[in-house]
Structure 1
């Protein structure tokens, strides 16, 4: 609340005194602010630790998945195809020759039309497309039975399995219909295209539409020039395989081939499927980085500066120490039969002075190469590092866990402190207003007394002057 200038009448430093009283009263607000700042700092620090634990759990969970271990990579010594392998694949070499690529059927009208917008029927028509024994029908209104309208109707129904366009060949009748099967392979080719009148009646003429688009693969007429659909054909270790598309899955278990070009005759390509230990190595190093990040964050947030004699947000905090202790304990996994029974045997050691993990890349690579099964058991086993770390992390970060409970409590404390601050501020404002009124009254009274004093002094002086004159 603003304080009007007082003390002018009395000459007393009442404004300064009122300011000092305000500063004294505000110490109570400062204490509340200081406590709120401390609680907010702890709240932020817990949030940082929670995020780091969650990042560690994500990295740990990756080490609990089967696909992290025994991953495979592929290499091909030609440009005829590419290959990708999943966890079901088996390491080995394969001789593959791409004899034929899969292609789509195309139908191009044999003759063109002078006017692409000219109406071709005097009634609406139904056009039925049959692919793989399944028939789909579209209805074209009479005023849309132009070449342009039919193309628009075909492309407006994605379920037909065919797309249409108009090709301009530059002749006197340039507009020609081009139909293309949407998928490759023989099974995706058009078998028939039939045209019927939607509401057949006397004088209904649909012959021009039939002449434009009618088709029967069993007895191809003069309407279209056809480029037939083809299946992909590959030879895999001498075994012929056909495919409707140029993407061939699981002919070699766990391997997907994507055909790109036909092989040179008699020159098959070699596909090599080999172990890719880099997937596991990357997952291990990601886990170690996340673990060390959490340890460093806890160290920073709980440190104490001896020189400045100042603590950090969580100096002396028991929950932070509990996190550090239990996360470290999760690394202690009971050994299982095998060459790799603990982390140190695969090159992951702990610095006793700061608890930070260090990875010996050479030792890790050797463990992954020679003892992948043991490494997988150590991390992904029922009581492995991944399972223990997940349990430890959940205890702190899941709903109802230690950190959410602590942060809920601190948020409630901040709300209470906000209410306390508001109530205290109102009380101080009321008290200062009382002081201001009292000081104003004092100032007025002192001003009046000073005025009377001056008057009396003046009168006495005048009386003294009168006496001297007599």
Structure 2
């Protein structure tokens, strides 16, 4: 609107110009809105399809792994007492095991001392871990308190895996220096030796148990004791390698009397099963996504149906057709040739369903055949991947289509700007034209009024009352 218009002619110029501008603008706006909605909907739909394809490709990559089929599982029936892991060369087998005791490390204490104990003279303490150990010498100065001695021991023994602390007894005010070793196993007892009279109260023999306030061990270093199929075994550590070739045992607790646990070493069927199920779930998500994006849903008589963003799209049909063809294409091998041999079948809606019993039997009876069916250059996963890679790779079909739609959407924004500019120019032009007309009509009306007045004043003119 340009100021107050229509004064001269009495015409509603604003309404006329608004109607003419709308008549010019509305069809183009509606066209651009339809194109923008269609392009945005299709762009979003292609993004959803690409996401489902990427997830499917990831699941196939995880299943197309020779390492997955080379893995061995070591399963304990009592993980509170023992866990285990196995290398890919471990032989399958089942073992009855008991854990009689865990390997322990040395914990020792000096004799009880006055809380204000201090070294009476300079000297040395030699701390050993086992009788054959050369030991570590720690210099002690006259006047050093138990806390200062503790700190010196910790500094000197940190690389030996021995730590020291001071324990105080509130009942009698006495204190004891307590040392803990990290290393386990029989013969790894801590001892403290000294040749200096002022430090003899700190000496201790880690092979003698502490009694009362006397020096000695609180916990003696000992080997783990366990059995495998009735054979009694020992280990200086709770992590045992070599007792069963290529299997590492981790002892965690004692088993109950007459209740041995079972350790089963086998091919990693659990891991393979999980990856097969992940593949099926990703495929089903792809099919469900494609069905949703290509569906036409009636919403009632006289109403337009709700349609997916890729209804009638040839790309989806071609892609899914290629994938399905590979899924039913039999492998050239014995044992497992098609998915149905694994209990994986196609349902009416196109998704896959797993018969767990049949899959478990196939893994037990034909584990190696399952591996060659899925993996390798000619395996199912590689063949399907080649079918979809051209669609989702960088610069692939879907990316190119999405870029084209993005260009269209950007072009629509520019067309909207151009339309706004043209409409503004048209509106300004119309107002200028109508205002010029209005001014002319106003002047003509003024002239007409003056002529009428002048003619009415002429002699002989008879005025007629209205």
Same fold (TM over 0.5): yes
The reply to whether residue 295 of structure 1 matches residue 296 of structure 2 is no
Q: Which residue of 2 aligns with 1:44?
A: 44
Change (3 A) 1:381 1:440: same
Aligned twin of 1:18 = 17
Residue 168 of structure 1 corresponds to 168
Which structure 2 segments of 5+ residues have no match? none
Q: Render the CA deviation track for 1:149-168: whole Å, top value 9, x for unaligned.
A: 95499489975623444322
| Alignment deviations for residues 264-293 of structure 1 (CA, whole Å, 9 cap, x no partner) | 67x472424166745444433332232122
**Where do residues 31-430 of structure 1 align in structure 2 (5 Å cutoff)?**
31-66=31-66, 68-69=68-69, 72=73, 74-76=75-77, 80-83=81-84, 88-114=89-115, 147=147, 150-151=150-151, 154=154, 161-185=161-185, 225-226=216-217, 227-249=219-241, 251-253=243-245, 255-263=247-255, 267=258, 269-273=260-264, 277-304=269-296, 308=304, 311-351=307-347, 354-430=349-425
The alpha-carbon deviation at position 413 of structure 1 amounts to 3.5
| Superposed displacement of residue 342, structure 1 | 1.4
Q: Does the residue aligned with 1:331 lie in a helix, a strand or coil?
A: helix
Change over 3 Å in CA distance of 1:218–1:146 after alignment to 2 = closer
Change (3 A) 1:407 1:184: farther
Structure 1 residue 52: Cα displacement: 0.9
Deviation per CA, 1:64-88, whole angstroms, max 9, x where unpaired? 2346558646343796434555655
Q: CA RMSD in A?
A: 4.9
Give the whole-Å Cα distance in 2 for the aligned partners of 1:131 and 1:82.
29
State the alpha-carbon separation in 1 of the partners of residues 187 and 37 from structure 2: 72
* Structure 1 residues 18 and 414: alpha-carbon distance in aligned structure 2, compared to 1, 3 A threshold: same
Deviation of 1:147 after TM superposition, in Å, equals 0.9
Distance 2:32 2:153 in 1: 74
Q: Which moved more, 1:140-149 or 1:280-289?
A: 140-149
Q: Is the 1:99–1:234 contact (alpha carbons within 8 Å) kept by the matching residues of 2?
A: yes
Note if contact 1:136-1:159 (Cα within 8 Å) is conserved in structure 2.
no
CA separation of 1:96/1:308 partners in 2, compared to 1, >3 Å: closer, same or farther? same
Moved more, 38-47 or 223-232: 223-232
Contact 1:32 1:417 in 2 (8 A): yes
Greater alpha carbon shift after TM alignment, 66-75 vs 16-25:
66-75
Instruction: Return the alpha-carbon distance in structure 1 between the equivalents of residues 383 and 146 of structure 2.
Output: 71
Structure 1 residues 79 and 428: alpha-carbon distance in aligned structure 2, compared to 1, 3 A threshold? closer
Q: Quick one: structure 1 residues 370 and 156, their matched pair in 2 at CA, closer, same or farther if it must change by over 3 Å?
A: same
Task: Pick closer, same or farther for the CA change 1:443–1:248 going to 2, 3 Å.
Answer: farther
C-alpha contact (below 8 Å) 1:76/1:269 kept by paired residues: no
Separation in structure 1 between the aligned mates of residue 243 and residue 35 of structure 2, nearest angstrom: 68
d(CA) in 2 for partners of 1:446, 1:127: 122
Q: After alignment, is 219-228 or 294-303 more displaced?
A: 219-228
CA distance in 2, matches of 1:22, 1:366: 76
Query: C-alpha distance in 1, partners of 2:140/2:294?
Result: 76
**Retained in 1: the 8 A contact 2:146–2:166?**
no
Tell me how far apart the structure 2 counterparts of residues 297 and 288 of structure 1 sit (CA, whole Å).
Answer: 14
Residues 111 and 202 of structure 2 are in contact (CA less than 8 Å); yes or no, is this contact kept in structure 1? no
Q: Cα–Cα, structure 1 residues 253 and 19, in superposed 2: closer, same or farther, change >3 Å?
A: farther
Flag the 1:192–1:22 CA change in 2: closer, same or farther, 3 A. Answer: farther
Instruction: Give TM-score, length-normalised by structure 1.
Output: 0.74
CA distance in 2, matches of 1:53, 1:340: 26
**Range with greater deviation from structure 2 (88-97 or 179-188):** 179-188
Give 1:170 shift: 0.9
Partner Cα separation in structure 2 for residue 253 and residue 76 of structure 1 = 20
Q: Spell out, residue by residue over 1:298-355, the C-alpha distance to the aligned partner (whole angstroms, 9 max, x if none).
A: 232233468736753223333222321222233144433323221223332335x654
Cα distance in 2, alignment partners of residues 35 and 126 from structure 1? 91
Q: Is the 8 A contact 2:456 2:463 kept in 1?
A: no
1:164-217 deviation digits (Å, cap 9, x = unpaired): 44322114534443332245446976577999xxxxxxxxxx998x67977897
Task: Tell me the equivalent position of 1:203.
Answer: none
Indicate how the Cα distance of structure 1 residues 393 and 186 shifts in structure 2: closer, same or farther if over 3 A, else same.
Answer: farther
Structure 1 residue runs of 5 or longer lacking an equivalent are: 196-205
- Measured in 2, the distance between the counterparts of 1:268 and 1:347 equals 37
